[in-house]
Amino acid sequence: MNQNFVVGILWFLCLGTRILRGRADRRDHTPSRVLVVQMAKLGDMVCTTPVFHALKHSSCHPHVTVMGNKVNKELLVDNTDVDEYLVFSSVMSAYRLMHAGHFDAVIVVTPDVVSVALAYLAGIPFIAAPKVIGGYSPFESLWYRSLRHIIGCAVAEHRIGNYAPREYLNLLKPLGIDVSDTRKHLAFSQESLKKVRLLFGNKEKGVLYVGMSPSAGNKLKNWGAERFAELALRISRKYRVCIVVFGGERDREETTLMVRSLALPVSFLDLSRGLLIPELKAAISLLDMFIAVDTGPIYIAEAFSVPTVDILGPVAEGEQAPASEFNLVVLPPSPRVPQMRIMNVHGYNLAELKRQIDTTTIDSVYDACDHLLQKIARAHD
């Protein structure tokens, strides 16, 4: 069914319901059951975990339910900040789940007209949703803006260019929760850890385990499998390392090419086949460093305090990528205008996007890796 047709039907249903139930900003008591809706991909969900943590550790200690896609259910397994996960498989099933959940409040993390409409029609009395400011976002559609006005939900500003995890936390302010801690929170089971320890075998003393993911969910971000192989070779010439290759089924072409391109003296472990998300988390936690383009696993690494090098390419810096003393980003040469932002991943110039990827040299990525590996090696001494 056409998306605009579905949105139009939901919009008119909300318009009619508005007369009967009034505004969606009624917080008459401390919420005991809160739903958080995040329909984005793996990395975005990792960056939403500070919201779950802030809710769970607030004075009201609510039952926290998360709604999202099927893959992210596996990501949040064993996370003690999340009591329940609901898979958004269709509009009707999502409506039924929202209606049956008896939620006091819902936090819609990104401008999502369908989720906001369903929450309103399901009778959830308090809805908090973002208003994107500071630039253009296709998510801030006319349908979404008018729906927000019609139902009168609580609104929190999300400024383009600001750090997204902190902007997500702004959505909790209407609930009386004002926090700024953006640390990410993930967990895995001992069973998953045992499985991946068998894959790693006996880790050799003095060897640094460096993870690499040569592909991203959005293939436009890809830097090139052969470049990753060359980077692995340069690192192996200076440091005692084992390169651990990661990727999923959709990354098979890139991971296969990278592995085929590896040459002596590179020691490597190929984990690009057969890892489930719970095992992926455990495997990444065992690394000494992780290198990738801006993709979900690099945020998993951040959550487990694994040092990272993020090859940003066309992605805007400062909005989401891990950045600290042990979380480095590599940018294309200046001047540049980022072609992908958290709230706008579609409005890019393809030629400029490719230019920004192509001008990110192996030398520049190696320099960042070398700088970080020196720190890690000193810490291990």
pLDDT tens sequence across 61-88:
999 999 999 999 999 999 999 999 999 9
pLDDT at 28 over 80: no
- Residue written as token pair 């002596």: 264
Q: Which residues pair with 242 in a beta bridge?
A: 209
Strands (E), the chain: 33-37, 63-68, 84-87, 105-108, 126-133, 154-159, 208-213, 241-245, 268-270, 289-293, 308-311, 327-330
Q: Which residues contact 185 (CB under 8 A, 6 or more apart)?
A: 49, 50, 52, 53, 79, 81, 303
Which pLDDT score is estimated for 204?
A: 79
Structure-block tokens of residue 246? 């990661």
pLDDT at residue 359 above 70?
A: yes
Mean pLDDT, to the nearest integer, of 20-30? Answer: 83
Q: Spelled out in words, what is the top-level CATH class assigned to the domain 190-380?
A: alpha beta
**Chain-centre distance of CA 292, in angstroms?**
14
Phi and psi dihedrals of 50, rounded to 5?
Answer: -60, -30
How would you classify the pairing of strands 208-213 and 241-245?
parallel
pLDDT at position 2: 73
pLDDT for the residue 381: 67
| Torsion angle in degrees (nearest 10) through CA of 371, 377, 379, 381 | -150
Residues 195 and 326 sit within 8 Å (Cβ to Cβ): no
Place of tokens 């929202």: 98
- pLDDT tens figures, 311-332: 999 999 999 999 899 999 999 9
pLDDT in tens, 249-293: 889 999 999 999 998 888 999 999 879 999 999 999 999 999 999
Give the three-state DSSP class for 96.
helix
* Phi, psi angles (nearest 5°) of residue 244: -110, 115
Over residues 137-144, mean pLDDT:
92
Place of tokens 């040469």: 333
Q: Quick check: 347 pLDDT over 90?
A: no
Confidence of residue 203 (pLDDT cuts 50, 70, 90): confident
C-alpha–C-alpha distance, residues 236 and 190, integer Å: 31
Radius of gyration of the chain (CA): 22
14-175 CATH, one of 3.40.190.10, 3.40.1010.10, 3.40.50.2000, 3.30.2010.10:
3.40.50.2000
Percent of the chain with pLDDT over 70: 99
CB 146 within 8 Å of CB 11: yes
Considering the chain, tell me which residue range(s) the CATH 3.40.50.2000 domain(s) occupy: 14-175, 190-380
The pLDDT of residue 1 is above 80: no
C-alpha distances in Å from residue 210, one per residue of 126, 167, 323, 360: 45, 31, 18, 20
